[in-house]
Amino acid sequence: HAFCVRDPCGFICLLLTYFSVFYADYVVIQYVLIPAYSDSVWCSLHGVVFNLILLLLLACHAKAVFSDPGMVPLPETAIDFSDLRSQSRMNERGCEGWTVCSRCETYRPPRAHHCRVCQRCIRRMDHHCPWINNCVGELNQKYFIQFLFYTGLASLYSMVLVVSAWVWRIRSEREGAAEGDGEEEEAPSKHLIVAHYIILLVESVLFGVFVMVIFYDQLVSIITDETPLEQMKNRLMKDRPSSSSQHQPHTHAHTRKPRIPLLREVFGRGSMLLWLLPLHSTPPSAGGISYSALPDYDV
């Protein structure tokens, strides 16, 4: 498998992700926990919890980056598309909703879309995400959402830690000034600390807001059972009801499934606590595609 490593934007985003995580860890340990909580058990407690969140973040990220998002396999032999009846013949064979991708030159199951960056068709494609340098599709959406969750959690946590350490620093400085002992901190290091606090705060707010917006969109798209591409398509079809939209085989949007089964399709059938861990879950049985490039199709 050659996962989309050739996209330079994706490569830069990957480096930026790793750099941001290690920078946050460095500032939290070096400039927040050690100076502000040095004498108490809180130092190691916050350190352990914060690093556990970062570890889970990186684990989910790695799973999202390196797993197959659900690529539609390319055919081993070239398919003759000159036979226009092949589409209807496939529908007769119970491959309802299958379409042809002219760029991959293959048949693809319903809800698969072509990604121009990956140059492949992806099953239930959500979008191509440069932050994981991969598509978000049927098989890795769970890891992607978990990555968003832990990024949001880490952002929130570091914001709280930085603000509380900053408040502690100002208060202890004031007390030091009131007591009047000449224990001056070297000025450059003080400025350096404040600079690190500000950079980490900006990083946390930016990433925090960004991932929360995407996290919300992802949950909505699961609960409504529509990927962004399908939302756009359905909106377009709603705008012109006179067109042949009634003939579209893609009508699942009208028969809404309940939310929990829809969430289970993405996060697995196990306990909800397992939804938080980047573990491989058995694909849902309902509607699961047991699947070869071309089922039963004689060329």
Catalytic residue numbers read 129
List interacting residues with Zn ion (CB under 5 A). 101, 103-104, 114-115, 117-118, 121, 128, 135
Taking the C-alpha atoms of residue 113 and residue 159, their distance in angstroms, rounded to an integer, is: 39
Nearer to Zn ion, 115 or 214 (CB): 115
Q: Residue type at 44?
A: S
Taking the C-alpha atoms of residue 269 and residue 291, their distance in angstroms, rounded to an integer, is: 21
Q: How far is the CB of 125 from Zn ion (least distance, A)?
A: 7
3-state secondary structure of 143: helix
Which residues is 107 bridged to in the sheet? Answer: 100
Nearer to Zn ion, 67 or 155 (CB): 67
Q: How far is the CB of 221 from Zn ion (least distance, A)?
A: 17
- Residue 284's φ and ψ, nearest 5 degrees, are -65, 145
- Rounded to whole angstroms, what are the CA distances from 245 to 100, 230, 238? 19, 13, 9
Taking the C-alpha atoms of residue 103 and residue 295, their distance in angstroms, rounded to an integer, is: 20
Q: How far is the CB of 121 from Zn ion (least distance, A)?
A: 4
Q: How far is the CB of 150 from Zn ion (least distance, A)?
A: 22
- Residue 236's φ and ψ, nearest 5 degrees, are -65, -40
Neighbours of 48 (CB within 10 A): 10
3-state secondary structure of 101: strand
Nearer to Zn ion, 135 or 148 (CB): 135
Nearer to Zn ion, 70 or 208 (CB): 70
